[in-house]
Amino acid sequence: MKVLVVGSGGREHALCWKIAQSPLVEEVLACPGNAGTQRVGRNVDVAATDIDGIIALAREERVGLVVVGPEDPLCAGLADRLREAGLPTFGPGASGARLEGSKSFAKDLIERHRIPTAASRTFDRSGLAKGYVRGCQSWPQVVKADGLAAGKGVYICEDSRTACAAIDAIMEERRHGKAGVKVLIEEFLEGIEASVFAITDGSTILILEPVMDHKQVGAGDTGPNTGGMGVYSPVEGLTRRTHKQIEQRILVPSIHAMRQEGIDFRGVLFCGLMITESGPRLLEYNVRFGDPECQVLMRRLAGDVVPMLLATAEGKLDSIDTPTWDARACVGVVGASEGYPGEYRKGDRIVGLEAAEGRTDVVVFHAGTRSEGTDVVTNGGRVLCVTALGEDMEAARESAYAAFDVIDWDGKFCRRDIGRRSLPAQPARAREGHEL
């Protein structure tokens, strides 16, 4: 069988890498892919948002499974169109993707189904939103753009002045484009953040191993948020009891809610949670694998991923056993280009990739890279993610950084503290929101 992976980031390289190991798979195609996906499969120059182009490609190549990586094509209805064309697809249709595409839609569903969350109000006029925050008694308040904003549409505001500035930035200046048509003002929750991934076909749920990313650009969780500067798994401190609560209070009710609302969800549900004193509360849904969380999940997942992806696409996940995991720890260190998450440089030649990958239990996943003749050059803010397995977190860390350090390009940087955060040392309150 041929499998087509849609997207071009580190997440998609990790998916291609794992899928290519399956004895069921004859070839992996990536559209548009990057220099890393080209090594384990074949890149085809079709954009991830070109729905007609992707359908034509999948038909022409007679692919047996399409796996959609990023949220934008899912929100645009790619999975619906692929399924209409008879192509088994891992990824929710537009109605499911709306759980990520509109925070107010998600919030309404979460509240209707009494899933524990943070209290919030939605406004479609900036004047009303500002009037509301001026009357708020408790601070901080969290101001969020409703739509897709690449993880950058959330502002934690200490007082009504900064909240009003955030509302203006979102709704009047349109800093996040049409994501700012509506705004949510949300209660600030204290606690420990966690992400949980669950594969579901709408009926059966398979919960994946806990992973934790480091969102902020600077060591010690300082500076602006990014897509993720590094990741580790397992997550010590997330107790079995908390895990059970997440399953019973968040995941199972979420699946029930979707069924009741007629949402046919076949893919991965990524829940952003705050573990508070009164238990886990749901901050947001994403409808795809996290990046770089996926890289570490694919490294630790034992066995063949393809039966699980295919069974999800076909609505037969009940036929699949619970996944098993490599007991070792895994750390992923992201290498970024100078300037990221702001304006960054591109086109710098990357050296040392082979030497890094020659090291035991190390795999380098490409993200913003491009082949130029025999060279690989930088082509994005997050350039690559060096992953390493180790007997414990410290061993995995050492191995990941040792491999990271043999790779080089002009303007390369990383965070040096990936995998060092141990729960529950990091209260969310200490983290900065986005600067206004």
Does 251 engage in binding with ligand AMP (CB under 6 A)? no
Out of 118, 231, 287, 386, the only residue in the binding site for ligand AMP (CB under 6 A) is: 118
Q: Which two tokens stand for residue 325?
A: 């995991």
Window contacting ligand AMP (CB under 6 A); options: 81-89, 186-194, 290-298, 357-365: 186-194
Q: Do residues 133 and 272 lie in contact, with contact meaning Cβ atoms separated by under 8 Å?
A: no
Q: Which two tokens stand for residue 167?
A: 């509302």
Residues numbered 133 to 152 that lie near ligand GLY (CB under 6 A) are 151
| Cα of 223 vs its chain's centroid, Å | 20
**Which of 228, 271, 188 has its CA nearest to residue 387?**
228
Out of 133, 189, 217, 350, the only residue in the binding site for ligand AMP (CB under 6 A) is: 189
Out of 12, 71, 146, 193, the only residue in the binding site for ligand AMP (CB under 6 A) is: 193
The strand pairing partners of 407, in sequence order, are none
Does 142 engage in binding with ligand AMP (CB under 6 A)? yes
Q: Which residue, 293 or 361, has its beta carbon nearer to ligand GLY? A: 293
Per-residue mark of binding to ligand GLY, 236-275 (x: CB under 6 A):
----------------------------------------
Out of 293, 363, 378, 426, the only residue in the binding site for ligand GLY (CB under 6 A) is: 293
Does 431 engage in binding with ligand AMP (CB under 6 A)? yes
Q: Which does 286 bind (CB under 5 to 8 A by kind): ligand GLY, ligand AMP, none?
A: ligand GLY
Q: Do residues 113 and 99 lie in contact, with contact meaning Cβ atoms separated by under 8 Å?
A: no
Does 290 engage in binding with ligand GLY (CB under 6 A)? yes
Does 213 engage in binding with ligand GLY (CB under 6 A)? yes
Does 221 engage in binding with ligand AMP (CB under 6 A)? no
Provide long-range contacts, Cβ within 8 A and 24+ apart, for 248-252: 249/115, 249/116, 249/279, 249/280, 250/115, 250/116, 250/196, 250/280, 250/282, 251/196, 251/198, 251/205, 251/207, 252/205
Does 279 engage in binding with ligand AMP (CB under 6 A)? no
- The neighbour count for residue 80, using CB atoms within 10 Å, is 20
Q: Which two tokens stand for residue 193?
A: 């953040």
Does 272 engage in binding with ligand AMP (CB under 6 A)? yes
Does 151 engage in binding with ligand AMP (CB under 6 A)? yes
- The neighbour count for residue 262, using CB atoms within 10 Å, is 7
Q: Which does 361 bind (CB under 5 to 8 A by kind): ligand GLY, ligand AMP, none?
A: none
Residue 61 CB partners (closer than 8 Å, separation 6+)? 2, 4, 29
Window contacting ligand GLY (CB under 6 A); options: 232-240, 283-291, 305-313, 354-362: 283-291
Per-residue mark of binding to ligand AMP, 284-323 (x: CB under 6 A):
x---------------------------------------
Q: Which residue, 186 or 293, has its beta carbon nearer to ligand GLY? A: 293
Q: Residue 284 CB, nearest distance to ligand GLY (Å)? A: 9
Q: Which residue, 75 or 310, has its beta carbon nearer to ligand AMP? A: 75
Q: Which two tokens stand for residue 324?
A: 């098993």
Out of 148, 229, 263, 283, the only residue in the binding site for ligand AMP (CB under 6 A) is: 283
Residues of this chain that bind ligand GLY (CB under 6 A): 151, 213, 227-228, 286, 290-291, 293
Residues of this chain that bind ligand AMP (CB under 6 A): 118, 142, 151, 154, 186-189, 193, 272, 283-284, 428, 431
